[in-house]
Amino acid sequence: MVRQVKQKPMNWVERLYVFEALRGLFTTLKHALRGLLRYETLPTVPYPEMKPEIPRNYRARHRLMLRPDGMPRCVACGMCAAACPAHCIYIEAAETEDPRIEKAPARFDIDHLVCVFCGLCVEACPVDALRMDTCETSYVHPKRDDFVAPMFDLMTWDPKTYPQNDSQSQMAPGGTLNQQALDAWGMKVN
């Protein structure tokens, strides 16, 4: 059944559209004058002097999680590259000397110009090796090639900037739980 919406007929003033256009211009002028005369009331942030607070669960720049010895936690299974709809993750696997780990990435690159920051790669990772909780949303590089983040760039993060209750981040070198994790793994500190 079709539902019809009854509209009241327009009178001769509304049919001219002049008064409605003037009403719209008045609204625009009111907002423009507010910006000129009462700037402090505008809901803006003076970026880059003052950066907005970004929550930890916001999908920002990627990072590779680290084992207690500083090696990447990634096992080079390729699940993140397979789940990526933009095909911006490039992985090459290599064998490791550690008998507990079969493979490790020899190359792990993410092209941030192609990435759509959907987070599917993070969800697909079976060992929680990839995260998007860096709170870095603004990247500036002089060349396009610099937007391809190699494995070294993805691994350079400081555990002190992450919450204390994030035990996986605190087990990385420099974290509060690193020594306990090294003892549990049976590793020696160099």
- Asked if residue 153 is part of any domain, the answer here is yes
User: pLDDT tens, 13-23?
Assistant: 878 888 889 98
**3-state SS class at 177:** coil
Residue partners of 37: CB distance under 8 A and separation at least 6: none
Measure the CA–CA gap between 152 and 113, rounded to whole angstroms.
Answer: 18
CA distance 147 to 105: 20
CA distance 57 to 22: 45
What's the structural domain count of the chain? 1
For residue range 126-147, list pLDDT tens digits in order.
Answer: 999 999 999 888 888 999 999 9
Residue 4 in any domain: the answer is no
Spell out the alpha helix ranges (H) of 51-173.
79-83, 120-124, 151-155, 167-170
58 in any annotated domain: no
Count of alpha carbons within 13 Å of 117, Cβ hemisphere only? 16
- The model's pLDDT over 22-77, given as tens digits with 9 standing for 90+, comes to 989 999 999 888 888 887 777 777 788 888 888 888 999 999 999 998 899 999 99
* Terminal-residue alpha carbon distance, the chain: 78
Question: Which domain covers residue 113, as residue numbers?
Answer: 63-182
Q: Domain of 74: which CATH number?
A: 3.30.70.3270
Determine, yes or no, domain membership for 99. yes
Determine, yes or no, domain membership for 30: no
pTM of the model: 0.72
Is 49 domain-assigned?
no
Distance CA 188, CA 56 (A): 33
- For residue 175, being part of any structural domain is answered with yes
